[in-house]
Amino acid sequence: MAERISKTQRWLDLIAFLVGRKMPVEVDRIMEAVPAYAEKYLEADDTARQTVRRMFERDKDELKNLGIPIETVDLTINYGTEAVKAYRLTNADFYLPYLKLIAPETSGVAPDAPPVARPGAGQLHLSVHHVGLVQDALSRVSWIPSSPLKREADSALRKLTFDLSDAYRPSDRSPVLYLDRPGADEVRARVRTLSDALLARKRVRFTYHGILRGEDTERDVAPYGLLFQRGHWYLIGHDATREAARVFRLGRMEDPRANKKSPKKPDYEIPADFSLDEYRDRDAWELGSEDDRTLEARVLFEFPTSLWADRNGYGTVEEEMPDGSQVRTFQVRQVSPFLRWILSLEGRARITAPPALARGLRSLADEVLAVYEASAAALSVDSPATGGVND
Amino acid sequence: MTEIGTAGEQLERILYLLPLASRDGGVPLTEAAERLGVGVETLQRDLEEVTSRAFYHPAGGADEMQILLEANNLKVYAHKKFDRPSRLSGREMLSLAIGLRAAAGEAPPGVSSEIGDLAHRIEIELAVSAGHGEEERYEIDEGDREGAALRGLLKDAARSRTRCRFRYLKPDGSEPEVREVDPYSVVYGSGRWYVIGYCHLREAVRAFRVDRLLEARVVDAVYTVPENFDPADHVSAGRVFRSESDEEVIVHYSTRVAPWIREQGPFEEMDGGGVSVRFSTADPGWVVRHVLQYGPEAEVVEPLAVREMVMAAATTVLEFR
């Protein structure tokens, strides 16, 4: 009694049957040769045959997504009187060309000589430097927390290092470690769903927990892009209810689901002028709309905090003092986050202009002191015994 | 979902495993499993998918294949079939293009265009189809753009186990310090970069914030990483800590900022809608800077010494004229 043939086996049979044949193969021959199709195709029942044909079409699509492009060829047979569909998977389309390292820059590591190239299969020459770039690029995509393409990045790296000596193989003792934030597992599944929807241009619906209003809303969004920054994933897309582009943090999203109707037909187009770059990291005081009034703030950074501001590119240097301190200018749209940031520098940076902003910083410091004084007073009233503990 | 995963995942593993085991001498199953990031049992199940076909369908297309598994070693004879991995799929190419784009964004202009050319060449030569610019739909921003070159140097040094000398600026330092450090690990957590390594000045393993490294260079000295070093020992709830001598600090946050704090890690709800967080830190200065970022919306409750540090910082700012 035959067991059921698994999908993996069916695909493997199909690939093994087609790959390397020079001539396209007529569909009937495929149906008869691949065991999983033949079982039903040979029954000669038209409905069963149609079902198997559809199964083959789906297999072809799925295999294409997996990087196995079975090409459809229109053939005429019987002296040009009959048109039939035929299929082909050439060696050149299926097998990865040989990768050859050129001009090794490190003397200690000799690249492996590639095996003799298969006729028709190409060969790609890469320098050691380029291999390093490729490894670095794929590692970024693999290791970034909750990466939607981790599996593909790992697989690409394995393939691209297949011909190289062990010295170039990815090591599991990587010197770089990306830490997951709490809740990363839930986010991982959401990123994958949204990434799939984005690539297929399918709309998504989800419940969003708005942090400002503290309420949950149902959203219907056309995904335009996915952005990872400061350890969080964000979806940028067109929100149908708000009729505008919006940014959603994936950690605040629940149960995203893509429109499953007509999976091959895109639901929307991404506007040509949309650029994800515009949503990249900006400091909190730079956020806001173009119409917001911008203040130019002058801030004196004491030495050596000036070195740190320089190292991180905060503001623009306006003036350098002999003692190493610097005046730096900032274009401020949002005053409150700017003042709180300067306050967190504990007095190592002071606002020198405009005077209103300098006053704002002082009153913020005053508010902080008031909080501590009030709670200290409450504490001493509640439990006088602890009031004197100060060593 | 089990480790076997979808049929697509299984096929991907099989199409890599077959060429790997077709090479002279085959491949130890344990090594193949390690490369594929799965357990040996999963690979055995994958192999069953290949071998079991022949028993009930002798006419199957891949039956010319011979698979020998002796002890731990796997050897495949496939008669010139499946002796190479398959080309990069659309998504594999996409992942490479996204990574190269992120790298190009951090590189100087010359290197950036070289990276662009490389991506184009690989797409044409190795991938099954062109990506049509889908990589522009993804952006990986690892932060600290200004420190990209410095981070590259640290990663290379950690990879090649080479000591570094760097100028480091502590937040409360009166001038930068020169440190010699064996960089064991470069860590990204909560949107920041750290380097964890053996500090020759402190004679202990320490964590340094990369945004406070002013410059770094490699020193001609090679080190070994102790067997018992584990970067996870320096990490808790997605954050990096700097030493073992931790102190507990309790911070209360107002209702206004509580929603953001709840997203960041463990917390306790308080009466009235605020939240309370216990930090375990060796650097109370970090807590001071952290609470000041919230202005009057965050308050250190304990210990008293840290409360006084916050008040001293606020007083300094208040006295500016």
* Chain B residue with minimum CA distance to A233: B140
Query: Does the distance separating the beta carbons of B14 and A308 come in below 8 Å?
Result: no
Q: Is residue B314 part of a domain?
A: yes
CATH number of the domain encompassing residue B158: 2.30.30
> Is B83 a member of any domain?
no
Query: For residue A390, what pLDDT is reported?
Result: 32
**pLDDT for A178 beyond 50:** yes
Provide the mean pLDDT of chain B: 87
Asked if B292's CB is within 8 angstroms of A344's CB, the reply is: yes
Average pLDDT over every residue of A155-160: 93
Cβ neighbours, 10 Å, residue A101: 22
B155 and B234 fall within a common domain: yes
Amino acid B55: pLDDT: 46
Task: Report if residue B82 sits inside a domain.
Answer: no
Residue A161: pLDDT over 60: yes
Instruction: Test A35 with B57 for CB contact under 8 angstroms.
Output: yes
Range of the domain at B110: 90-137
Contact yes or no for B115 and A133 at CB 8 A: yes
Is B2 a domain residue?
Answer: no
Residues 6+ away with beta carbon under 8 Å from A227: A233, A234, A235, A236, A276, A279, A280, B138, B139, B141
Statement: residue A165 has pLDDT above 90: no
* Whole-number pLDDT of residue B21: 94
Residue range(s) in chain A whose domain bears CATH number 1.10.10:
7-94
- The answer to whether residues B157 and B195 belong to one domain is yes
Of B96, B316, B318, the CB nearest to A137: B96
B203 and B157 within one domain: yes
Higher pLDDT, A111 or A305: A305
What is the CATH architecture assignment of A295-376?
Answer: 2-Layer Sandwich (3.30)
Q: What is the pLDDT of residue B221?
A: 87
pLDDT-derived band at B57, boundaries 50, 70, 90: very low
Q: Which of B200, B225, B240 is a domain's end point?
A: B240
Q: Has residue B85 been placed in a domain?
A: no
Domain with CATH 3.30.70 in chain A: 295-376
Which pLDDT score, from 0 to 100, does residue A114 have?
A: 42
Query: Average of pLDDT values for B255-272?
Result: 89
Nearest residue of A to residue B10, measured between CA atoms: A8
Per-residue pLDDT at B22? 92
What are A137-149's pLDDT values in tens digits?
A: 998 899 888 999 9
pLDDT tens-digit map of B126-153:
888 766 789 999 998 888 888 888 998 9
To the nearest whole Å, the CA of A200 is away from the closest chain B CA by 11
Global confidence as pTM: 0.84
User: Per-residue pLDDT for A275 more than 70?
Assistant: yes
Do B132 and B188 reside in the same domain of the chain? Answer: no
The class level of CATH for A197-269 reads mainly beta
pLDDT at residue A259 in the model: 96
Residues B183 and B207 occupy one common structural domain = yes
Mean pLDDT value across residues B297-313? 95
Q: Please, are residues A196 and A214 in contact by the beta-carbon 8 Å criterion? A: no
Is residue B224 domain-resident?
A: yes
Q: What is the mean pLDDT of residues A88-103?
A: 86
For chain B, percent of residues with pLDDT exceeding 90: 51
What CATH number belongs to A7-94? Answer: 1.10.10
The alpha-carbon radius of gyration of chain B (Å, integer) is 27
Listing DSSP states for A121-152 in one string gives --EEEEEHHHHHHHHHHHHHHHHSTT-TTHHH
Q: Tell me how close the Cα of A79 comes to any Cα of chain B, in angstroms.
A: 29
Beta bridge partners of B28: B73
Task: State the smallest CA–CA distance between residue B288 and chain A in angstroms.
Answer: 8
pLDDT at A109: 40
What pLDDT, in 10s, does the model give residues A328-371? 999 988 888 899 999 999 999 999 999 999 999 999 999 999 99
Contacting residues of A for B173, CB less than 8 Å apart: 304
Report the pLDDT value the prediction gives residue A170, as an integer from 0 to 100: 60
- Domain count across chain B: 4
Is the Cβ pair A372, B310 closer than 8 Å? yes
pLDDT (0 to 100) of residue B74:
92
Within 8 A of A15 by CB-CB distance, chain B residues are 15, 62
